[in-house]
Amino acid sequence: MALSDRHIVGIKSESTYGTDAFTSSAPTDSEWLGIIGEPSIQERTVDVPASEKTHDGLGGQILRYGDATDVSFSTYLVGKESTGGDPPPVIADLYKASNLDETVNSGTSVDYATAYGRTMASVPAMTVYEGIRDDVGGDYFTRVVTGVRGVPTFVFEDGQDARVNYEGVGLYSEMTTSTTAISAPSSYSGGKNRLKCQGMTLTYDGTQYPITSAEVVTGMEVDEDRELGNDHAVDEVGLYLPNEAKPGGSVTFKARSNVITTILGANVQPDNGSFTVVPTADLVITLTDGTDTIEITMTDCAFGAHSKNLAGGNYLFDVPFTALGGLSISFS
């Protein structure tokens, strides 16, 4: 099957877990995401060894009914709907399905913050609608995956559009043939402008250091809950925070070699075997296009062991960090 650029993805929060939020109809124009590259939405396959062939003689990789559907795609990070404090169009449903609590501040901003714990009622799921056109046969295919929850990774690269890479899991859903043509949406992600990363800097003690890239993750993991008596059936998909895990990521910036100790501090082990206190700092990433502003804040960040590379006459420091105080995102 040859796929064209008519491979589109829409998302919508579910009012009831596992129930199609689109109510068996195609998404509206405002519910389609602006997708970067080719999305991957596929029912889970399993390996069947030769000694355990199915009744029809099939072995190798096969689809198994009742298992999960893996969902992954990249989309643009865009601003909120209006100055009235409305959430970001469409993509807000992705945040809520990622264990990020939503707080709407009417007339000013909308905020999202990591919400720890695995309480199904407090972590909304979303329905993911996939539409594909086969260029060769001209046929249309659709797949509706309900109960999707997952983990976003926010990616910032100098000179590139800010994006969100999403990895999620939903309930089992097969691709079906559709007799109705999938109309091209008039806009994606609510028609909001993309935010390009230009001139990113790390400011420390009044000095700015150019950032070439940064990545932020929530620290959550997917938890697949299966029905008793049938280990092939996924009943619910949840999110949880592994022991001692926190949001985090990494940042790559340019600096002279002799300033890295000043910026990151040093862990010194005295003769008595005790360590000094690990220095921490808040890390804030701000994007603006003159109308919309997105601010991602990671508080009380502890920086890990860095690597150093010489590129184009400049040292690049790649530094991992853990946000001990949590992660929040504000759209204003």
Say if residue 283 is exposed, middle or buried (CB neighbours under 10 Å; 0-12, 13-18, 19+): buried
Given this model, what pLDDT does residue 83 score?
Answer: 60
Q: Is residue 55 part of a domain?
A: no
Distances (CA, A) of 3 to 26, 136, 152: 19, 9, 25
In degrees rounded to 5, what are phi and psi of residue 34? -80, 105
Enumerate residue ranges in the chain where pLDDT < 50.
1-5, 120, 267-269
Whether the CB-CB separation of 6 and 133 falls below 8 Å is answered with yes
The continuous run of DSSP H or E covering 323 comes out as: strand 314-323
CA 211 to chain centre: 21
Whether the CB-CB separation of 94 and 164 falls below 8 Å is answered with yes
Q: Is residue 149 part of a domain?
A: yes
Q: Is the C-alpha dihedral spanning 199, 73, 75, 104 positive or negative?
A: negative
The continuous run of DSSP H or E covering 120 comes out as: none
pTM of the model: 0.86
Other CB atoms within a 10 A radius of the CB of residue 264 amount to 20
Give the residues across from 141 on adjacent strands.
Answer: 132, 177
Q: What CA–CA distance (Å, rounded) separates 102 from 19?
A: 21
Given this model, what pLDDT does residue 146 score?
Answer: 95
Q: How many helices (H) and strands (E) does the chain have?
A: 2, 21
What burial letters (b/e) apply to 93-108, b meaning 16+ CB within 10 Å? bbbbbbbbebebeeee
pLDDT digits (tens, 9 = 90+) for 247-262: 999 999 888 777 676 6
Q: Is residue 53 part of a domain?
A: no
Number of folded domains in the chain? 1
Given this model, what pLDDT does residue 160 score?
Answer: 92
Q: Is residue 303 part of a domain?
A: yes
Given this model, what pLDDT does residue 278 score?
Answer: 64
* Residue (of 249, 298, 239, 296) closest to 116 by Cα position: 239
Supply the range of the domain harboring residue 201: 8-44+60-331
